[in-house]
A and B are shown apart, each in its own frame.
Chain A
Amino acid sequence: MKLLIMVLNYEEKINDLLQVMLEFELTDTFVLDGIGIENKLAKEVPLFSSLLQAKAGIPPYNRIVFSIISNEDILPELIEVLKDVDIDYSKQNTGFYFTIKIDNLFIT
Chain B
Amino acid sequence: MVKLIDFIDSNDIVLIKDTSFSQKGLLNNLLNQVKFQENMDKKEVMKILLAREKEFSSYIDRGVAIPHCQLKEIKKIYVKVAIVPQGILYDKKNKAYIIILILSSYAENKKYLALLAHLMRIFHHKEFTQKFKYARSTQEIYAIIKSQEQI
Q: A residues near B, CB below 8 A? A: 19-20, 22-25, 27, 74, 77-78, 81, 84-85
Identify which of B44-52, B91-99, B110-118, B131-139 touches chain A: B110-118
The smallest C-beta distance from A100 to any residue of chain B, in angstroms, reads: 23
Q: With A74-B1, A77-B1, A81-B1 in contact, is A24–B114 under 8 Å at CB?
A: yes
Interface size, chain B (Cβ < 8 Å): 13
Give A68 to B110 CA distance when docked, in angstroms.
14
Q: With A24-B1, A74-B1, A77-B1 in contact, is A19–B111 under 8 Å at CB?
A: no
The number of A-B residue pairs with CB atoms under 8 Å apart is 33
Residue of B nearest to A21 (CB): B117
Q: B residues near A, CB below 8 A? A: 1-2, 110-111, 113-114, 116-118, 120-121, 124, 151
Residue of A nearest to B113 (CB): A22
Q: With A74-B1, A81-B1 in contact, is A23–B110 under 8 Å at CB?
A: no
Residues of A close to B114: CB separation below 8 A: 22-25
Residue of A nearest to B120 (CB): A19
Tell me which of A20, A25, A27 contacts B121 (CB under 8 A).
A20
Give A103 to B1 CA distance when docked, in angstroms.
26
Give A25 to B6 CA distance when docked, in angstroms.
15
The smallest C-beta distance from A83 to any residue of chain B, in angstroms, reads: 10
Residue of A nearest to B122 (CB): A84
Tell me which of A27, A74, A81, A85 contacts B110 (CB under 8 A).
A27
- Structural contact, B118 and A23, CB atoms closer than 8 A: yes
Tell me which of A20, A74, A78, A84 contacts B117 (CB under 8 A).
A20
The smallest C-beta distance from A71 to any residue of chain B, in angstroms, reads: 11
Beyond A24-B114, A77-B1, list 13 extra A-B contacts (CB 8 Å).
A19-B121, A22-B114, A22-B116, A22-B117, A23-B1, A23-B2, A23-B117, A23-B121, A24-B1, A25-B110, A27-B110, A27-B113, A84-B121
